[in-house]
Amino acid sequence: VNDQHGHAAGDIVLVEIARRLEAIADDNGGVAVRLGGDEFCLLFLTFKHQSELCQIAEAAVSRLGAPMSGAVEPSALGATIGIARSWTDAQDASALLHCADTAMYRGKEDGRSTYNFYDSQYEKQRRTQADLELALRRAVEADEIVPYFQPIVALPSQEVVGFEVLARWLKPDGSTAVPSDFIPVLERLGLIPAMTRSLIKQACRAANRWDDRLRLSMNVSAGMVTDALFPDQLLEQLRQEQFAFHRFEVEITEEALVGNLDVARQNLSKLHDHGVTVALDDFGIGYSSLYHLTRLSIDKIKIDRSFFEPGQTDHLPMVEAILGMARSLKMQVTAEGVEEFHLPHLPSWLANSGCNYAQGYLYGRPKPASSLFCYTHSSFAQQAG
Protein backbone atom coordinates (compact mmCIF):
# COMPACT_ATOMS: atom_id res chain seq x y z
CA VAL A 1 0.00 0.00 0.00
CA ASN A 2 2.82 2.42 0.88
CA ASP A 3 4.50 1.85 -2.50
CA GLN A 4 1.34 2.33 -4.56
CA HIS A 5 -0.60 4.93 -2.56
CA GLY A 6 1.90 6.61 -0.23
CA HIS A 7 2.64 6.40 3.48
CA ALA A 8 -0.37 8.49 4.45
CA ALA A 9 -2.70 5.91 2.89
CA GLY A 10 -0.68 3.16 4.54
CA ASP A 11 -1.17 4.74 7.95
CA ILE A 12 -4.92 5.00 7.35
CA VAL A 13 -5.04 1.30 6.48
CA LEU A 14 -3.06 0.28 9.59
CA VAL A 15 -5.35 2.27 11.87
CA GLU A 16 -8.44 0.74 10.28
CA ILE A 17 -6.97 -2.77 10.49
CA ALA A 18 -6.27 -2.24 14.19
CA ARG A 19 -9.84 -1.01 14.75
CA ARG A 20 -11.35 -4.03 13.01
CA LEU A 21 -9.13 -6.51 14.85
CA GLU A 22 -9.96 -4.91 18.18
CA ALA A 23 -13.65 -5.39 17.39
CA ILE A 24 -13.07 -9.08 16.61
CA ALA A 25 -11.04 -9.52 19.80
CA ASP A 26 -13.72 -7.81 21.91
CA ASP A 27 -16.43 -10.01 20.41
CA ASN A 28 -14.51 -13.16 21.36
CA GLY A 29 -12.91 -12.29 24.69
CA GLY A 30 -9.44 -11.59 23.36
CA VAL A 31 -6.84 -8.86 22.96
CA ALA A 32 -5.50 -7.34 19.72
CA VAL A 33 -1.93 -6.00 19.53
CA ARG A 34 0.32 -4.75 16.76
CA LEU A 35 3.63 -6.60 16.52
CA GLY A 36 5.23 -4.24 14.02
CA GLY A 37 4.89 -3.22 10.39
CA ASP A 38 1.74 -4.82 9.04
CA GLU A 39 1.74 -7.75 11.50
CA PHE A 40 -0.87 -8.01 14.25
CA CYS A 41 -1.69 -10.60 16.90
CA LEU A 42 -4.98 -11.74 18.43
CA LEU A 43 -4.50 -13.34 21.85
CA PHE A 44 -7.19 -15.39 23.58
CA LEU A 45 -6.61 -16.32 27.22
CA THR A 46 -9.38 -18.93 27.43
CA PHE A 47 -9.60 -22.29 25.69
CA LYS A 48 -11.26 -22.28 22.28
CA HIS A 49 -12.18 -25.25 20.13
CA GLN A 50 -10.70 -25.48 16.65
CA SER A 51 -14.11 -24.73 15.15
CA GLU A 52 -14.27 -21.47 17.15
CA LEU A 53 -10.79 -20.50 16.00
CA CYS A 54 -11.80 -21.19 12.40
CA GLN A 55 -14.83 -18.92 12.78
CA ILE A 56 -12.68 -16.14 14.25
CA ALA A 57 -10.08 -16.49 11.48
CA GLU A 58 -12.74 -16.48 8.78
CA ALA A 59 -14.27 -13.35 10.29
CA ALA A 60 -10.86 -11.66 10.36
CA VAL A 61 -10.13 -12.55 6.73
CA SER A 62 -13.55 -11.27 5.69
CA ARG A 63 -13.45 -8.02 7.67
CA LEU A 64 -9.88 -7.15 6.75
CA GLY A 65 -10.63 -7.70 3.07
CA ALA A 66 -13.68 -5.42 3.11
CA PRO A 67 -13.37 -2.01 1.37
CA MET A 68 -11.87 0.86 3.31
CA SER A 69 -13.39 4.17 2.34
CA GLY A 70 -10.89 6.82 1.33
CA ALA A 71 -7.88 4.51 1.49
CA VAL A 72 -7.24 1.99 -1.28
CA GLU A 73 -9.18 -0.20 -3.64
CA PRO A 74 -10.55 -3.44 -2.13
CA SER A 75 -8.35 -5.65 -4.30
CA ALA A 76 -5.23 -4.24 -2.64
CA LEU A 77 -6.09 -5.67 0.79
CA GLY A 78 -5.98 -9.13 2.27
CA ALA A 79 -4.84 -11.04 5.32
CA THR A 80 -2.87 -14.22 5.91
CA ILE A 81 -3.38 -15.69 9.38
CA GLY A 82 -1.30 -18.23 11.29
CA ILE A 83 -2.88 -19.97 14.28
CA ALA A 84 -1.02 -21.62 17.18
CA ARG A 85 -2.49 -23.18 20.35
CA SER A 86 -0.76 -23.25 23.73
CA TRP A 87 -2.17 -26.64 24.70
CA THR A 88 -0.76 -28.43 21.63
CA ASP A 89 1.93 -26.30 19.95
CA ALA A 90 3.97 -24.43 22.60
CA GLN A 91 4.03 -23.66 26.32
CA ASP A 92 5.60 -20.19 26.51
CA ALA A 93 4.63 -16.95 24.79
CA SER A 94 7.76 -16.64 22.64
CA ALA A 95 7.48 -20.18 21.28
CA LEU A 96 3.76 -19.78 20.71
CA LEU A 97 4.31 -16.62 18.69
CA HIS A 98 7.01 -18.38 16.68
CA CYS A 99 4.58 -21.21 15.87
CA ALA A 100 1.90 -18.75 14.76
CA ASP A 101 4.48 -16.95 12.63
CA THR A 102 5.56 -20.22 11.01
CA ALA A 103 1.94 -21.10 10.22
CA MET A 104 1.38 -17.64 8.74
CA TYR A 105 4.35 -17.90 6.39
CA ARG A 106 3.25 -21.37 5.34
CA GLY A 107 -0.17 -19.89 4.59
CA LYS A 108 1.39 -17.17 2.43
CA GLU A 109 2.66 -19.89 0.12
CA ASP A 110 -0.98 -20.73 -0.62
CA GLY A 111 -1.91 -17.13 -1.37
CA ARG A 112 -3.41 -14.16 0.40
CA SER A 113 -6.67 -14.16 2.38
CA THR A 114 -6.12 -17.55 4.04
CA TYR A 115 -5.62 -18.94 7.53
CA ASN A 116 -3.49 -21.85 8.56
CA PHE A 117 -3.01 -23.90 11.76
CA TYR A 118 0.50 -24.64 12.96
CA ASP A 119 1.80 -28.15 12.31
CA SER A 120 5.04 -29.48 13.79
CA GLN A 121 5.99 -30.70 10.31
CA TYR A 122 6.33 -27.07 9.27
CA GLU A 123 9.50 -26.74 11.34
CA LYS A 124 11.11 -29.63 9.52
CA GLN A 125 9.98 -28.22 6.19
CA ARG A 126 11.28 -24.79 7.14
CA ARG A 127 14.68 -26.20 8.07
CA THR A 128 14.77 -28.21 4.86
CA GLN A 129 13.94 -25.07 2.89
CA ALA A 130 16.62 -23.09 4.72
CA ASP A 131 19.19 -25.82 4.00
CA LEU A 132 18.19 -25.81 0.32
CA GLU A 133 18.53 -22.05 0.10
CA LEU A 134 21.98 -22.14 1.71
CA ALA A 135 23.10 -24.96 -0.60
CA LEU A 136 21.92 -23.03 -3.66
CA ARG A 137 23.70 -19.86 -2.58
CA ARG A 138 26.91 -21.88 -2.30
CA ALA A 139 26.21 -23.64 -5.60
CA VAL A 140 25.91 -20.35 -7.49
CA GLU A 141 29.12 -19.02 -5.91
CA ALA A 142 31.02 -22.23 -6.68
CA ASP A 143 29.73 -22.64 -10.28
CA GLU A 144 28.03 -25.91 -9.30
CA ILE A 145 25.05 -24.97 -11.47
CA VAL A 146 26.50 -25.89 -14.83
CA PRO A 147 25.50 -25.59 -18.48
CA TYR A 148 24.13 -28.57 -20.36
CA PHE A 149 23.89 -28.24 -24.13
CA GLN A 150 21.03 -29.38 -26.37
CA PRO A 151 21.72 -29.44 -30.13
CA ILE A 152 19.94 -27.12 -32.55
CA VAL A 153 20.02 -28.33 -36.15
CA ALA A 154 19.57 -26.57 -39.46
CA LEU A 155 16.84 -27.77 -41.81
CA PRO A 156 16.80 -29.59 -44.14
CA SER A 157 20.43 -30.70 -43.64
CA GLN A 158 19.92 -31.55 -39.92
CA GLU A 159 23.49 -30.39 -39.31
CA VAL A 160 24.20 -29.15 -35.79
CA VAL A 161 24.63 -25.36 -35.89
CA GLY A 162 24.48 -24.55 -32.19
CA PHE A 163 23.22 -25.43 -28.73
CA GLU A 164 20.69 -24.15 -26.25
CA VAL A 165 22.26 -23.70 -22.82
CA LEU A 166 20.22 -25.35 -20.06
CA ALA A 167 20.97 -25.25 -16.34
CA ARG A 168 21.71 -28.33 -14.24
CA TRP A 169 22.70 -28.40 -10.57
CA LEU A 170 25.49 -30.87 -9.77
CA LYS A 171 24.65 -31.52 -6.13
CA PRO A 172 27.27 -32.54 -3.53
CA ASP A 173 25.68 -35.99 -3.21
CA GLY A 174 26.46 -36.69 -6.87
CA SER A 175 22.92 -36.29 -8.18
CA THR A 176 21.88 -33.84 -10.88
CA ALA A 177 18.89 -31.54 -10.37
CA VAL A 178 16.80 -30.13 -13.23
CA PRO A 179 15.68 -26.47 -13.33
CA SER A 180 12.21 -27.08 -11.89
CA ASP A 181 13.93 -28.25 -8.67
CA PHE A 182 15.89 -25.06 -8.06
CA ILE A 183 14.93 -22.17 -10.37
CA PRO A 184 11.88 -21.13 -8.27
CA VAL A 185 14.08 -20.97 -5.17
CA LEU A 186 16.72 -18.92 -6.98
CA GLU A 187 14.01 -16.55 -8.19
CA ARG A 188 12.80 -16.04 -4.64
CA LEU A 189 16.37 -15.42 -3.45
CA GLY A 190 17.09 -12.97 -6.27
CA LEU A 191 19.96 -15.13 -7.54
CA ILE A 192 18.85 -15.63 -11.15
CA PRO A 193 21.17 -12.90 -12.52
CA ALA A 194 24.17 -14.37 -10.66
CA MET A 195 23.35 -17.87 -11.90
CA THR A 196 22.91 -16.58 -15.46
CA ARG A 197 26.29 -14.85 -15.43
CA SER A 198 27.90 -18.04 -14.13
CA LEU A 199 26.27 -20.12 -16.86
CA ILE A 200 27.32 -17.67 -19.58
CA LYS A 201 30.91 -17.77 -18.33
CA GLN A 202 31.04 -21.56 -18.29
CA ALA A 203 29.18 -21.97 -21.59
CA CYS A 204 31.36 -19.48 -23.47
CA ARG A 205 34.55 -21.09 -22.21
CA ALA A 206 33.31 -24.47 -23.38
CA ALA A 207 32.13 -23.16 -26.75
CA ASN A 208 35.43 -21.36 -27.38
CA ARG A 209 36.98 -24.83 -27.68
CA TRP A 210 34.50 -25.77 -30.39
CA ASP A 211 34.28 -24.87 -34.04
CA ASP A 212 33.52 -21.15 -34.25
CA ARG A 213 30.53 -21.79 -36.52
CA LEU A 214 28.62 -23.15 -33.54
CA ARG A 215 26.39 -20.73 -31.66
CA LEU A 216 24.93 -20.56 -28.14
CA SER A 217 21.32 -19.79 -27.23
CA MET A 218 20.23 -19.02 -23.68
CA ASN A 219 17.01 -18.03 -21.94
CA VAL A 220 17.08 -14.76 -20.03
CA SER A 221 14.73 -14.00 -17.14
CA ALA A 222 12.07 -11.30 -17.11
CA GLY A 223 13.90 -9.35 -14.43
CA MET A 224 17.09 -9.21 -16.47
CA VAL A 225 15.40 -8.23 -19.75
CA THR A 226 13.79 -5.23 -18.06
CA ASP A 227 16.95 -4.18 -16.19
CA ALA A 228 18.46 -1.11 -17.88
CA LEU A 229 21.98 -2.38 -17.08
CA PHE A 230 21.45 -5.79 -18.67
CA PRO A 231 22.65 -5.22 -22.27
CA ASP A 232 25.90 -3.52 -21.27
CA GLN A 233 26.59 -6.19 -18.66
CA LEU A 234 25.99 -9.00 -21.16
CA LEU A 235 28.09 -7.41 -23.90
CA GLU A 236 30.93 -6.76 -21.46
CA GLN A 237 30.86 -10.36 -20.25
CA LEU A 238 30.98 -11.66 -23.83
CA ARG A 239 33.97 -9.38 -24.48
CA GLN A 240 35.74 -10.68 -21.38
CA GLU A 241 35.15 -14.26 -22.51
CA GLN A 242 36.29 -13.35 -26.05
CA PHE A 243 33.05 -14.76 -27.41
CA ALA A 244 31.82 -13.18 -30.64
CA PHE A 245 28.51 -11.34 -30.28
CA HIS A 246 27.09 -12.93 -33.43
CA ARG A 247 27.53 -16.40 -31.89
CA PHE A 248 25.25 -15.59 -28.96
CA GLU A 249 21.45 -15.65 -28.86
CA VAL A 250 19.18 -14.52 -26.02
CA GLU A 251 15.77 -16.14 -25.67
CA ILE A 252 12.97 -14.21 -24.01
CA THR A 253 9.38 -15.10 -23.21
CA GLU A 254 6.37 -12.82 -23.40
CA GLU A 255 6.28 -12.83 -19.60
CA ALA A 256 9.54 -10.87 -19.72
CA LEU A 257 7.83 -8.11 -21.70
CA VAL A 258 4.81 -7.52 -19.50
CA GLY A 259 6.42 -5.47 -16.73
CA ASN A 260 8.28 -2.73 -18.62
CA LEU A 261 7.97 -2.96 -22.37
CA ASP A 262 9.80 0.31 -23.06
CA VAL A 263 12.94 -0.77 -21.19
CA ALA A 264 12.78 -4.24 -22.78
CA ARG A 265 12.52 -2.65 -26.22
CA GLN A 266 15.60 -0.50 -25.62
CA ASN A 267 17.60 -3.40 -24.19
CA LEU A 268 16.78 -5.81 -27.00
CA SER A 269 17.43 -3.15 -29.63
CA LYS A 270 20.90 -2.53 -28.20
CA LEU A 271 21.74 -6.24 -28.21
CA HIS A 272 20.40 -6.59 -31.76
CA ASP A 273 22.49 -3.63 -32.94
CA HIS A 274 25.63 -5.29 -31.55
CA GLY A 275 24.95 -8.53 -33.41
CA VAL A 276 23.40 -10.60 -30.62
CA THR A 277 20.42 -12.59 -31.91
CA VAL A 278 17.12 -12.03 -30.09
CA ALA A 279 14.61 -14.91 -30.10
CA LEU A 280 11.03 -14.93 -28.81
CA ASP A 281 10.62 -18.27 -27.02
CA ASP A 282 7.46 -20.38 -26.63
CA PHE A 283 5.86 -18.54 -29.54
CA GLY A 284 2.18 -19.19 -30.16
CA ILE A 285 0.94 -19.60 -26.60
CA GLY A 286 1.07 -15.94 -25.49
CA TYR A 287 -1.79 -13.53 -25.83
CA SER A 288 0.07 -10.83 -27.76
CA SER A 289 2.88 -12.47 -29.72
CA LEU A 290 2.08 -10.59 -32.93
CA TYR A 291 2.13 -7.27 -31.13
CA HIS A 292 5.58 -7.95 -29.72
CA LEU A 293 6.95 -9.03 -33.09
CA THR A 294 6.10 -5.65 -34.58
CA ARG A 295 7.37 -3.57 -31.64
CA LEU A 296 10.63 -5.29 -30.69
CA SER A 297 13.95 -6.17 -32.31
CA ILE A 298 13.13 -9.86 -32.71
CA ASP A 299 15.32 -11.88 -35.09
CA LYS A 300 13.89 -15.33 -34.51
CA ILE A 301 10.85 -17.06 -33.10
CA LYS A 302 10.81 -20.46 -31.42
CA ILE A 303 7.52 -22.29 -31.97
CA ASP A 304 6.33 -23.80 -28.71
CA ARG A 305 6.65 -27.56 -28.33
CA SER A 306 2.91 -27.93 -27.67
CA PHE A 307 2.30 -27.54 -31.42
CA PHE A 308 4.20 -30.78 -32.06
CA GLU A 309 2.73 -33.09 -29.46
CA PRO A 310 2.04 -36.64 -30.70
CA GLY A 311 -1.16 -36.86 -32.70
CA GLN A 312 -1.71 -33.09 -32.84
CA THR A 313 -1.95 -32.88 -36.63
CA ASP A 314 -4.67 -30.26 -36.32
CA HIS A 315 -1.98 -27.83 -35.14
CA LEU A 316 0.02 -28.05 -38.36
CA PRO A 317 -2.05 -25.47 -40.28
CA MET A 318 -1.30 -23.03 -37.46
CA VAL A 319 2.41 -23.87 -37.73
CA GLU A 320 2.25 -23.20 -41.47
CA ALA A 321 0.64 -19.83 -40.76
CA ILE A 322 3.39 -18.95 -38.26
CA LEU A 323 6.06 -19.92 -40.78
CA GLY A 324 4.41 -17.82 -43.48
CA MET A 325 4.22 -14.83 -41.16
CA ALA A 326 7.88 -15.25 -40.19
CA ARG A 327 8.91 -15.26 -43.85
CA SER A 328 7.02 -12.04 -44.48
CA LEU A 329 8.74 -10.44 -41.47
CA LYS A 330 12.13 -11.84 -42.54
CA MET A 331 12.50 -13.76 -39.29
CA GLN A 332 14.04 -17.16 -38.75
CA VAL A 333 12.13 -19.96 -37.02
CA THR A 334 13.12 -22.81 -34.71
CA ALA A 335 10.69 -25.65 -33.96
CA GLU A 336 11.04 -26.80 -30.35
CA GLY A 337 10.34 -30.22 -28.89
CA VAL A 338 10.86 -32.38 -31.98
CA GLU A 339 10.95 -35.88 -30.50
CA GLU A 340 11.57 -39.41 -31.75
CA PHE A 341 7.93 -40.45 -31.33
CA HIS A 342 6.38 -37.45 -33.04
CA LEU A 343 4.62 -37.17 -36.37
CA PRO A 344 6.22 -39.23 -39.15
CA HIS A 345 8.48 -37.17 -41.40
CA LEU A 346 8.06 -34.08 -39.20
CA PRO A 347 11.59 -32.78 -39.93
CA SER A 348 11.06 -32.96 -43.69
CA TRP A 349 7.60 -31.40 -43.34
CA LEU A 350 9.08 -28.53 -41.33
CA ALA A 351 11.87 -28.01 -43.85
CA ASN A 352 9.47 -28.03 -46.80
CA SER A 353 7.25 -25.55 -44.97
CA GLY A 354 10.11 -23.10 -44.51
CA CYS A 355 11.26 -23.78 -40.95
CA ASN A 356 14.95 -22.93 -40.52
CA TYR A 357 15.91 -24.90 -37.41
CA ALA A 358 14.72 -27.70 -35.14
CA GLN A 359 15.49 -28.79 -31.61
CA GLY A 360 14.44 -31.75 -29.50
CA TYR A 361 15.29 -35.24 -28.32
CA LEU A 362 15.27 -36.46 -31.93
CA TYR A 363 18.59 -34.65 -32.33
CA GLY A 364 19.95 -35.10 -28.84
CA ARG A 365 19.28 -34.66 -25.15
CA PRO A 366 21.03 -31.98 -23.11
CA LYS A 367 24.60 -33.04 -22.31
CA PRO A 368 27.53 -31.57 -20.38
CA ALA A 369 30.39 -29.99 -22.29
CA SER A 370 32.59 -32.99 -21.50
CA SER A 371 30.37 -35.14 -23.74
CA LEU A 372 30.71 -32.84 -26.76
CA PHE A 373 34.33 -33.42 -27.82
CA CYS A 374 33.18 -34.11 -31.37
CA TYR A 375 32.41 -30.40 -31.80
CA THR A 376 35.96 -29.17 -31.22
CA HIS A 377 37.63 -27.36 -34.12
CA SER A 378 39.42 -30.37 -35.59
CA SER A 379 36.71 -32.98 -35.04
CA PHE A 380 33.93 -30.76 -36.38
CA ALA A 381 35.98 -29.84 -39.44
CA GLN A 382 36.51 -33.53 -40.22
CA GLN A 383 32.76 -34.21 -39.90
CA ALA A 384 31.90 -31.24 -42.11
CA GLY A 385 34.42 -32.33 -44.68
pLDDT in tens, 62-109: 998 888 766 555 445 788 999 999 888 887 899 999 999 989 988 887
Asked whether residue 361 carries a pLDDT value surpassing 70, the answer given is yes
> Assign residue 350 a region: left if phi > 0, alpha if psi is -120 to 50, beta otherwise?
alpha
The total number of residues shown for the chain amounts to 385
pLDDT in tens, 213-269: 999 999 999 999 999 999 999 999 999 999 999 999 999 987 777 767 889 999 999
Q: Is it true that 2-119 and 131-384 share their CATH fold?
A: no
Rounded to 5°, the CA angle 108-110-113 comes to 65
The predicted pLDDT at position 335 comes to 96
Q: What is the mean pLDDT of the segment spanning 271-277?
A: 98
Higher pLDDT, 351 or 106: 351
- Compute the mean pLDDT over every residue in the chain, rounded to the nearest whole number: 88
Q: Classify domain 131-384 at the CATH superfamily level.
A: EAL domain (3.20.20.450)
Please state the domain extents for the chain: 2-119, 131-384
pTM tops 0.85, yes or no: no
**Confidence grade of residue 381 (pLDDT, cut at 50, 70, 90):** very low
The predicted pLDDT at position 288 comes to 59
**Confidence grade of residue 5 (pLDDT, cut at 50, 70, 90):** low
The predicted pLDDT at position 125 comes to 81
Percent of the chain beyond pLDDT 90?
Answer: 64
Q: Where are the beta strands (DSSP E) in 208-287?
A: 215-219, 248-252, 277-283
Distance in angstroms (rounded) separating the CA atoms of residues 118 and 105: 10
Q: In 145-176, which positions are buried (b, 16+ CB within 10 angstroms) versus exposed (e)?
A: bbbbbbbbbebeebebebbbbbbbbbbeeeee
Cis omega (within 30 of 0) for bond into 156: yes
The predicted pLDDT at position 77 comes to 73
- Under CATH, to which class is 2-119 assigned? alpha beta
Distance in angstroms (rounded) separating the CA atoms of residues 316 and 319: 5
Percent of the chain beyond pLDDT 70?
Answer: 90
The predicted pLDDT at position 379 comes to 47
Distance in angstroms (rounded) separating the CA atoms of residues 309 and 358: 14
Cα-based torsion angle of the residue sequence 349, 311, 180, 368 in order, rounded to the nearest 10 degrees: -40
Would you say the C-alpha torsion 240, 241, 246, 248 has a positive or negative sign? Answer: negative
pLDDT in tens, 118-158: 988 887 888 888 899 999 999 999 999 999 999 999 999 99
Distance in angstroms (rounded) separating the CA atoms of residues 24 and 278: 56
**Confidence grade of residue 1 (pLDDT, cut at 50, 70, 90):** low
The predicted pLDDT at position 358 comes to 96
